[in-house]
Amino acid sequence: MIVSWNWLKEYINFTEEVATVTDRLTMSGLNLEEFHDVGKDVAIDLEVTSNRADCLGHLGIAREMSALFGRPLNKPTAQPQELGSDVSGLASVSIECPDLSPRYIARVIKGVKVGPSPAWLVERLETVGLPSINNIVDITNYVLMECGQPLHAFDYDKIEDHRIIVRRAKSGEKIMAINQKEYMLDDTMCVIADANRPVAIGGVMGGLDTEIGAGTVNVLIEAAEFTPLSIRSTARKLNLHSDSSYRFERGVDPAGVDWASRRCCDLILQVAGGELCKGSVSMGRTENDAQQRNPITLRFDQLKRVLGIEVPTDSVLHILQALGAVQHGPVAHERVEFLPPTWRRDLTREIDLIEEVARIYGYHHIPEDVDVPLTTSSRPLRDRVLDRVRHVLTAAGAFEAVTLTFISADQVKLFTPRGDVPVLSVEHSSRRHENVLRPTLIPSLLQCLRDNQRQGSHGVQLFETARVYLSADRRQPEHQTEPFMLGLVSGRSFNEVKGILTAVVQSVNRNKAIDVRPSSIPQFASERGAELFIDGTVWGWLGELSRETSSKVDLKDVVTVAEVDFSLLEAISELHPTYIPLVTFPSISRDLNFILDPEVTWEQLSKTVSSAAGPFRESVTFGGQYRGPQIPAGKKSYVVNITYRSADRTLTSDEIDSAQGAVVSACTQQLGAELRA
């Protein structure tokens, strides 16, 4: 926000230097970017945060300075002289979409003389970076920069039937804006229309057909409120941003709309002449409605508790009143109620008032060694689980990636674990082709892996933890609409990545294991994909991508990918270690090679072996798979490695042979397995 030093001094009397004032503004929350001379004036560039829409005008900055330096604020009265006929017989206004525009005020000035602006007005606008157009348009811009309320001036005689209709645009409707570009509208957008056509994109930009020109004699002045979300959506869809849309997106003062309208008319009469018609055509909520705010109770002992210092009661009252808050009743029982000003939508709680007192009173009053009561806090469960997961993955040689939330429609098709479900997209002004909120992390990681390979970095493993976006239905739980996921891409084999994921699970709970079942995800190579389960609950997916899929990303090597639900890791986490004594007796490993029918899965075999191997079974691991001439046609073989161990003695050969016999018998009877010689 660029403001003029000379302009500010019209509202508040100052003898301090620019540097002194900007230092105080910076310390109170309006950070100084820079200031420089513009002719005989000084342009001051201040950073205004999105919650301080009240400071998007000179009056708002002057109000801050008034509170900081204890000087009175001189706000113009805005009482233009009305001489013309009653405006109610000259124009009509109707609002058909109050959800997009809750208030609209129109005034008419007849007999203006359009021409160049006076020097003082041109200089003011030049200082804040705005070009001079003509005296009428310049006044609307002047009032915009004065109070933060956008206005628009129409050529009254070009408005069909002199009717103003605030409505939704019709799908496919077009308008030529004053920037001489045509825009296609849709029914989510608010337009200002006359009897036949749109004459402005509500809150964003006026139309070319009704703009003020050299031949304009009669002017209709618009001052309105628009819903911030509607303006933000319209500006982004059309890629059309203006000083007006910037302010409407952040919210204008609902009780300042009429003042801005009157101020604009007053200045037009001064610089362009004419007669202001009596009254205004005002539709929507009233001035009283706009001023309704709920009182906030401020307890004085809370100031000491939060800030750690005593702030005199008189200073507290003076600061809040200088900022526009109205005391609601007397001070009683060490507390007082304030009605926040209409231009401060961000003031809703007691802590907000405490912050206002602190920043105006001055943070420098708080000594470095002040006794501010603090309580210890513990790290959230997610952060503690994340630490364990990161440790395992980085120890396995993976690097953590941070990728963009947006992907393209083509990237969505690279990995569809949930099938062809509808995706969420946004109208994004800077990323037209990558505007889909990703439903999975894998496409982003594959893109990153490809970029590494193009730079000569092969064998890179990448992982990422982030949200994916499945639905915009806020009635559903967050873990269903925006689940927090862990994604991994690697050049390792299926079994190696499964081992890494097993280590991830056991890092948060050593008693849990992963179950795998065949997956039907089309991007996995045949018989190289699995669905992962923990305690019968779906955890995610793991598999080797088909060559067709990896070729779409221009990846040269085989890629194994995994994506799992991080919230399940949180749910099963048991982060307090339990002491388990080390087993000092040796283990004994035996291999069995079974010939099986092709439909028998490794999961079935491993479960059968595990249940039959007896109490000394320590682990069952995959040893390999074979199809070929050494076994009967239409069959396959699995090698199973079984490890046995006892906690209190060394096992004998007879005990191991007995367990092996039980395994062979169970696999033969339950799976039709045949032991391969």
249 and 206 in a common domain? yes
For the segment 598-602, the average pLDDT, to the nearest whole number, is 88
Indicate whether 100 and 47 sit together in one domain.
Answer: no
pLDDT at 431 over 80: no
Quote the pLDDT of residue 579: 80
Q: Are residues 246 and 109 in the same domain?
A: yes
The answer to whether residues 286 and 305 belong to one domain is no
Residues 353 and 408 in one domain: no
- Look at residue 54 and tell me if it is in a domain: yes
Residue 604, domain member (yes or no): yes
> Which is nearest to 657 in space by CA: 599, 607, 616, 602?
616
pLDDT digit string, tens, across residues 432-474: 678 889 999 999 999 999 999 888 888 899 999 999 999 888 8
pLDDT bucket at 430, cuts 50 / 70 / 90: low
Beta-carbon contacts of 670 under 8 Å, excluding residues fewer than 6 positions away, are 608
Residue 480 has pLDDT above 90, yes or no: no
Same domain, yes or no: 88 and 215: yes
Give the model's pLDDT for residue 458: 85
Q: Rounded CA gap, 84 and 82, in Å?
A: 6
Average pLDDT for residues 173-187, to the nearest whole number? 95
Strands (E), 523-571: 524-534, 537-545, 560-565
Q: Which of 537, 572, 607 is the last residue of a domain?
A: 572
Are 423 and 449 part of one and the same domain? yes
Over residues 9-34, mean pLDDT: 94
Q: Are residues 350 and 392 in the same domain?
A: no
| Mean pLDDT within 630-657 | 93
Is there a domain that residue 375 lies in?
A: no
Instruction: Write out the two tokens for 623.
Output: 């040893």
Model confidence band, residue 277 (pLDDT cutoffs 50, 70, 90):
very high
Task: Judge whether 132 and 233 are in contact, CB under 8 Å.
Answer: no
Q: What is the CATH number of the domain that holds 192?
A: 3.50.40.10
Q: What is the DSSP letter of 216?
A: -
Q: Is the pLDDT of residue 429 over 60?
A: no
Q: CB-based burial of residue 581 (10 Å sphere; 0-12 exposed, 13-18 middle, 19+ buried)? A: exposed
Which two structure tokens, joined as six digits, stand for 157?
A: 């005689």
Res. 428: pLDDT tops 70: no
Residue 577 domain-assigned? no
Residues 111, 188 within the same domain: yes
pLDDT at 421: 82
Query: In the structure encoding, which two tokens stand for residue 73, read together?
Result: 């604020």
Q: Is the pLDDT of residue 139 over 90?
A: yes
Residue 610 has pLDDT above 90, yes or no: yes
Within-domain flag for 628: yes
Between CA 256 and CA 291 the distance in angstroms is: 10
Phi/psi at 230 (5° precision): -65, -45
Q: Do 435 and 538 sit in the same domain of this protein?
A: yes
CA angle 526, 531, 535 (to 5 degrees): 155
In the chain, the percentage of residues whose pLDDT exceeds 70 is 99
Domain range spanning residue 35? 2-69
pLDDT band per the 50, 70, 90 thresholds, residue 80: very high
The three-class DSSP label of residue 279 is: coil
- Answer whether residue 645 is part of any domain: yes
Please determine, for residue 661, whether its predicted confidence score (pLDDT) is greater than 80. yes
* DSSP symbols for 66-88: HHHHT---------PPEEEEEGG
CATH of the domain at 349: 3.30.56.10
Per DSSP, the three-state class of 241 is coil
pLDDT at 368: 81
* pLDDT classification of 288: cutoffs 50, 70, 90: confident
Number of domains making up the chain: 5
d(CA 532, CA 535): 10
Same domain, 342 and 484: no
The token pair that represents 8 in the structure block: 């500010």
Looking at the domain assignment, is residue 341 inside a domain? yes
Q: Which of 264, 290, 316 is the last residue of a domain?
A: 290
d(CA 549, CA 353): 57
Do 509 and 550 belong to one domain? Answer: yes
| Domain final residue pick, 258, 290, 322 | 290
Q: What are phi and psi of 85, to 5 degrees?
A: -70, 170
User: Which pLDDT band holds residue 426 (cuts at 50, 70, 90)?
Assistant: confident
Q: What is the mean pLDDT of the chain?
A: 93
Q: What pLDDT is recorded for position 432?
A: 67
Range in 36-45, 329-338, 365-374 the model is least confident about: 365-374
Say what the pLDDT of residue 273 is: 95
608: domain CATH number is: 3.30.70.380
pTM recorded for the entire structure: 0.71
Residue 376 lies in a domain: no
The answer for residues whose C-beta is within 8 angstroms of residue 202's C-beta and 6 or more apart is 100, 101, 166, 189, 190, 191, 192, 224, 226, 230, 231, 234
Going 498 to 503 to 509 to 511, the CA torsion angle's sign is positive
pLDDT tens-place string over residues 519-558: 989 999 988 899 999 999 999 999 999 999 999 988 888 8
